[in-house]
Structure 1
Amino acid sequence: MGSCSATTAQSDPWWKVDLGRNYKINAVIITGKDQHPLNGVEIWVDASKTPNVTSFRCGVIPVFGEPLSGYLSCNGAEGQFVRLLLPGANLKLELCEVQVYSTDFAYPQPNVAVKGRAVQSSTLYPAEAHRAIDGRRDTFYTEGSCSHTAPQSDPWWRVDLGQPFIVSNVKVTNRGDCCADRLDGAQIRIGNSLKNNGNDNPWCTNVTHIPLGNTFTFTCKSTGTTGRYVNLLLSGEMRILTLCEVEVYADPAVEALSNIANYKPALQSSTKKVWDVFSFLDAGAHKVVQTCRTHRFDKLCCSQTHTWRNPWWRVDLGAPYRVSAVVLHNRHDCCSSYIIGAQIRIGNSRTIGQNPVCSTITNADLKQTFYCSEMEGQYVSVNIKEITTLTFCRVEVYGSRVDRGPAVHLVGGRLCWSDALFYCRRHHWDLLSVQSHDEQTQVEQLIAKSVYPLSENVWLGLRRELMGMRWFWMSGEALTFNQWRLFPPLFPNPCGGVGRTDGLWSPLSCAEHNNFLCQSAPAQSSTKVYYYSSKMPRV
C-alpha cells in the first residue's frame, strides 16, 4: 500500500518522471494495483516538460494480467520525460512501480524467483515461504501474499532458483500494515551450497531498513555474484522474518567456456611507444590478447594509446559469437584509474559506437569480470568518451560460436503481435519462422527451458492475408511446414503463435499480449514482408 502512488478521480489523470537528461528508451514496464486496473494506459516519451508534436507514444496496454504488470517497447524513442496517461473521465491512476530501460540494455532481466521453490526455517500458518515469490507485491498480511516465520532464533528464508544464476539485484517488499523494523539487519546471501541451510553462502548485502509497504532494490557488494540459492537471514534471539515479495533479477551463469580472444587480431586508435634504456617498448593492441598475465607495462604485456580524444581498443573474433563474459586485467604499476568510465561494446560493426554496450567500467580493480548475457558479435571493444589515455594489460572473452543458422531468442516481455514484430526487427532480424520438424523441436525445447513464466501462447511470425485464407511468414519464407492445432486454421484471427505446453500452432487475436520468438538472421533468398502500423515507426 505504502509503495504505490495515486491521483484523485479526474479526467485524463497522468504521471511523469524526469530522467534528468535525454535517453533513448528501449522499454517501459509498469505495475498497477488490483483496485484500479490500468486498462488503456498510454506510455509517452517527451523531449520537454510540455508535451508537443515531438512526443512519441510507445503504445497502449489494453489488458493487464496477474500480476498487474505490463511491458511496452519504445523502439529507442528519445526524450527526458516518460509520461503515463489514462484517457477518460472520472478515472484514478494508481501505480506501484514504473521501470524505464534505455537502449544500452537489452530486454530487462527476468525475475527468476517466481519459478523457484521457497522454504523457511518455520511457518506461522498459513504464511508459507512460497507466498513471497507469488509475483504479487500485496503488502497487507491479510491479503495472503506474505511469508511469516514463528518467533525463533536466527530465522531464515530461502529460494531455490533451480540452477546457478548471475544475480544482478534482489528486490525485497516489506509488510505494509505493521512491523516495518522486523526486516532491519537481514542478510542477503547467495551461493550454491546448502550447508547450514544455505546461510553460509557468500554475503551479498544487508537490509538496513525498508519503510512500511515499500520495495527496495539491493545490489551485491561484489560484482557478478553467482548462485542457485538466495537466502535472507535474520540473526538474533526471538526474531520474526516476514517477507511480502522477493524478486531475483539474473542471467543464467556462465558455463565453462574457452577464451576466444587469444591471439585474435587486435587494433587500437593509436599506439604509445616508450623508450626504455636501449629500445622502445611497444604497447600495441595485440599485447593484451596473448598469454602474458603480468600487470606491468615494462613486462611487454600491456597496451596503451596516446592521450587523445575518444581512445579505443578492439579485437576481431573472426566470426560472430555469443559472448557470456569479458574479463579485463588492469595495470598494477600505475595508471589504473585511466580505465574508469570505459565502455565494453559487443557487436558486428567495425564502428565502435554502433555496437551495443555490455557494461561500463566503474572502478580501477586489478581484475574485473563483466557478464554480457550472450550478446552477439564479431567485435569486442573498449572505448572512453573523453580526452585521455586507454591502457590495460589483458582482455579475455568467453563465449560460444553462433551457429550458421539463425539464432533464436525467446523474449521475456509480453507484447501484442505487431509490437513483437517491431521489437524483433529492431533488435534481431524478424519474428521467428519455422521451416521443419527439427526447427519445431528446437522451439519446443527452448520454450520448455525458459527460466521465467511464459504466456499460454508464444508469438511466431505467422500472419494471414486480411482478405483471404492464405497464411505466410513475415520473414518472407514460404510456409512449407506447419504444426496447426486445427487445419485449416479457424477464421477470423489473423496472427499465429505456438502453444507453450503442446507446441501446436493456433490463430490468435493480434491484440493478445504474449511472449515471442525472434530470429537473428534470414534464410537464404528470403525478403521479409513490409509492415506498417500507425502507432509505430516504420521498419
Structure 2
Amino acid sequence: MDLTGPQLCYNYTSNVIGPGELKTFKCPASIEGRFVRITKHTVASTALRLCEVIVEVNADTCTILDLALNKSATQSTTYDDGKDHAGDAWRSVDGNLDPNMPVGQSCSHTDQVGHQWWQVDLVRYYHITQVSIQNRDVVPHRLGNVSVEVSETNNFDIHSEFYDAKLCHYYEASDVPASTLLILPCSDNIVGRYIRISKFVPILYDVLSFCEVIVEGGDPSCIQGTTGITATTTVTENTTDEQTDTTDSPEITSTTISLPSTCPCSCRGSIEKYYNRSIESLLDELREELMVSKKETASYTRTLVSVDDGRTSSRNIGYVGIVLLVAVGLSIVVPDVVSLAMYMKGK
C-alpha cells in the first residue's frame, strides 16, 4: 500500500481530558502505517504533556491488550488510612494509570508483612503473553522482587500459594523506577484465568502497592498448533434378528486418544504416557496394577512359615538342638538319681 500522506485516525475536539484518565481513540480499520503522531491544535502557547501512549495493532481475538480492565480483583490485605485513599484491589484495574495515590485514588495497597499478593480473575481462559504494572510515583521499592503467576483454577494451599501456578515472570530487582510502567513478558504457551502478583514482605512498612495492571493475550486457540485434545472413537452396536434390549450400552471396539504436538498444559509430562493408546490396553494395564500377588498376602505368609524346610543345613541345626536339650536334661537329672541311689544303699 502506497502512503502518500498522513491518515487521520481520530480528531478529538473536546477541551480537556480528566486528570489520570486513560482516553481511548479508535482508528478506522483501513489505516496502515509505521509512525503515529499526536498533534495539539491551539492558539495559546500551551505545551502538549502526555504520560503514556498505547498503540493497539491488529486487535483481534489473538491480540487483546487489556484483559484485566474492570475485572474482579482481590488481594491478601487492604490498607485504609480513613481518608478516602483506600488501597482496594479493584483500583489497579480501573483504567486509571495515575501514579499519585492520594490524588488519583487509583492504586492498590496491601497492609501486612509476610506473603502479600494481588490477584485478578479474567473470567475465562486466555493465552497470556505479557503483564504490565504501573508503579507509584513514591516508594518505588514496593514493586521490587515480585512474581507474576498464572493459574487455571483459584485453588491455593494454607500459605495462599496457587497449587497449579505457572510462572509468567519473576522480577528480581529490588525496586522499579518511580512512575514507570513495568512490562513483564510471559514465557511461551501460558494459559490461565487468574493472574497473581506476589512478593514476600520480610519487614514492616514494605508492602505491595501499584496503580494499574494491564494483561495482554488472546484466545488459547491462537497458540501455534492445536491446543485441544482429540479422541476418535468407533462404536458398534450389537444387533440380531431377535428383539434386542435397548438398555444395553454400545460396545466400544476401538478408541484411541491422541496428544497434539503442541500443548500448553503443565501436566503434559505426567499424562503423555496415556495418549496414542487404546482404552483396552489402558484397562489391561490398570487390572495388572490393581491385582494383588498371592505371595504378598498375610495368609500365604503364615502358610509359608509353617511348612517343612527340607534343606540339609536346617536338619543338622535341628539335630544339634535336640542333643543339647538332652545333655542339659541329663545334667540335671543324673545327680539326683545318684544321690537317691546312695541314700537307699545306706539304709
Q: Give the TM-score band, short-chain normalised.
A: 0.5 to 0.7
Which of residues 207, 210, 220 in structure 1 aligns to 2:186? 220
- Which position in structure 2 is the counterpart of 1:183? 143
Q: Which residue of 1 aligns with 2:197?
A: 232
The superposition leaves residues 45-86 of structure 1 with CA deviations (integer Å, 9 ceiling, x where unpaired) of x97xxxxx6222223133568943122325454544221111
Amino acid at match of 1:56: Q
Q: Is the Cα–Cα contact under 8 Å of residues 70 and 95 in structure 2 kept in the other structure?
A: no
Tell whether 2:214 aligns with 1:247. Answer: yes
1:516-527 paired onto structure 2 within 5 Å? none
1:257 offset after TM fit, Å?
Answer: 6.9
Runs (4+) off by over 6 Å: none
Q: Indicate the residue corresponding to 1:394 in structure 2.
A: none
- Correspondences of 1:163-202 after superposition (within 5 Å): 163-176=124-137, 178-193=138-153, 194-196=155-157, 197-200=160-163, 201-202=165-166
Specify the alignment match of 1:348 in structure 2.
none
Q: Larger C-alpha radius of gyration, 1 or 2?
A: 2
Q: Count the aligned residue pairs.
A: 216
How many Å apart are 1:244 and its aligned residue? 0.8
Partner of 1:522: none
Aligned runs of 1:442-521 on 2, under 5 Å? none
What is the correspondence of 1:126-525 to structure 2 with a 5 Å cutoff? Answer: 126-142=86-102, 143-176=104-137, 178-193=138-153, 194-196=155-157, 197-200=160-163, 201-207=165-171, 208=173, 209-221=175-187, 223-238=188-203, 239-254=206-221, 256=228, 258=230, 367=262
1:163/1:198 Cα in 2 relative to 1: closer, same or farther (>3 Å)? farther
Matches of 1:141 and 1:58, distance apart in 2: 32
Identity %: 24
Deviations 1:128-148 (A, max 9, x none): 211111111111120311111
1:62-101 correspondence runs (5 A): 62-63=13-14, 67-90=21-44, 91-101=46-56
**Matching residue within 118, 133, 141 for 2:73:** 118
**Which structure's residues are more often strand, by fraction?**
1
Note closer, same or farther for the CA distance 1:162–1:93 as it changes in structure 2 (3 Å cut).
same
Structure 2: tracts of 5 or more residues without a match:
81-85, 222-226, 232-255, 265-347
Residues 1:99 and 1:110: Cα distance change in structure 2 (over 3 Å): closer
Q: 1:75 to 1:130 in 2, by over 3 A?
A: closer
Q: Secondary structure at the match of 1:57?
A: coil
Q: TM-score, normalised by structure 1?
A: 0.36
TM-score scaled to structure 2, two decimals?
Answer: 0.54
Distance in structure 1 (CA, Å) of the matches to 2:57 and 2:87 = 38
Amino acid at match of 1:117: S
Preserved contact between residue 172 and residue 216 of structure 1 (Cα < 8 Å): yes
1:155–1:234 Cα contact (<8 Å) kept:
yes
Greater helix content:
2
Distance 1:250 1:95, change over 3 A: same
Distance change (3 Å), C-alpha of 1:101 and 1:243: closer
Structure-2 separation of matches of 1:162 and 1:74: 29
Q: Deviations over 1:359-414 (max 9, x none)?
A: xxxxxxxx477xxxxxxxxxxxxxxxxxxxxxxxxxxxxxxxxxxxxxxxxxxxxx
CA separation of 1:199 and 1:70: change in aligned 2, threshold 3 A:
same
Unaligned runs of 5+ in 1: 1-23, 25-45, 48-52, 260-290, 295-326, 330-366, 370-539
Displacement of 1:245: 0.8
CA distance in 2, matches of 1:191, 1:119: 15
Tell whether the 8 Å contact from 1:61 to 1:72 is kept in structure 2 after alignment.
no
Quote the residue 2:11 is aligned against. Answer: 60
Query: Using the alignment, how far apart are the partners of 1:157 and 1:149 within structure 2?
Result: 8
CA distance in 2, matches of 1:250, 1:102: 13
Matched-pair contact (CA < 8 Å) for 2:56–2:65: no
Distance in structure 2 (CA, Å) of the matches to 1:146 and 1:172: 11
Give the AA of the match of 2:10.
Answer: G
Q: What letter matches 2:39 in structure 1?
A: L
The alignment partner of 1:95 has SS state of coil
CA–CA distance in 2 between the matches of 1:257 and 1:368? 9
Residue 92 of structure 1, CA deviation? 2.8
